[in-house]
Amino acid sequence: MTGHTPIAVLFVCLGNICRSPSAHGVFREAVARAGWADRVHIESAGTGDWHIGKPPDRRATAAAAARGIDLSDLRAQQVQATDFERFDYVLAMDADNLADLEQMANTRGKVRARIALFSTFSARYRGEAVPDPYFGGEQGFERVLDMIEDASAGLLEEIRTRLD
């Protein structure tokens, strides 16, 4: 299916400096290892606007780097109303993000995206929120990565069925 429009995935959290860039980096690595880098388009965004243009939180960058994941090129952006048409999957880190996304999508005429919790695709953490690590310690960032790695494996399988 080379030449077809890539499958597009948007990871969403509140600030787009901790959880969703971590998901972006982890899933980007998984997709690259699968050899699908040109068939899956990945972005991340925040429901909030405070950090637009900023790189990920240095604690997120360091925790990811320790697992071989590079977040250094990522810059925060805010979710746009058009994202519900641009992306096939819009994946929220927690229930607040999901509620905000559903409210935004409800005011749109055209919604193509499947809007869901990222943990929908997780075997170990299905249905759980990826907890906001911003105001906590380093351990929170390890927990975020543990959850994201598991959900990424499930999302990769989901996408595999669409690429075959």
In the complex, the residues that contact ligand 4NP under the rule CB under 6 A are: 13-19, 46, 50, 132, 134
Q: Which of 18, 19, 57, 83 is catalytic?
A: 19
Q: Which residue, 14 or 159, is less far from ligand 4NP as judged by CB?
A: 14
Candidate list 57, 94, 132, 150, residue with the active-site label: 132
**Residue 79 near residue 11, CB atoms below 8 Å:** no
Catalytic status, residue 19: yes
Angle subtended at Cα 160 by Cα 76 and Cα 65, rounded to the nearest 5 degrees = 40
Nearer to ligand 4NP, 36 or 134 (CB): 134
CB of 12 to ligand 4NP, least distance (A): 9
Burial class (CB in 10 A: 0-12, 13-18, 19+), 110: exposed
Catalytic annotation present for 13: yes
**CB 88, min distance to ligand 4NP, A:** 22
Is 40 or 60 the residue whose CB approaches ligand 4NP more closely?
60
Minimum CB distance to ligand 4NP smaller for 78 or for 120: 78
Active site residue 57: no
Determine the residue with CB nearest ligand 4NP: 15
Kindly list the strands in the beta sheet with 7-13, ordered across the sheet, starting from the edge strand earlier in the chain.
Answer: 40-46, 7-13, 89-92, 114-117
- Which DSSP symbol is given to 5? P
| DSSP letter, residue 93 | S
Q: How far is CA 120 from CA 44, 51, 73, 80, 93, in A?
A: 17, 27, 27, 23, 10
Q: Which residues contact 142 (CB under 8 A, 6 or more apart)?
A: 63
Residue 155 C-beta: closest distance to ligand 4NP, Å:
18
Output the smallest distance, CB 144 to ligand 4NP, in A. Answer: 8
Enumerate the active-site residues: 13, 19, 132
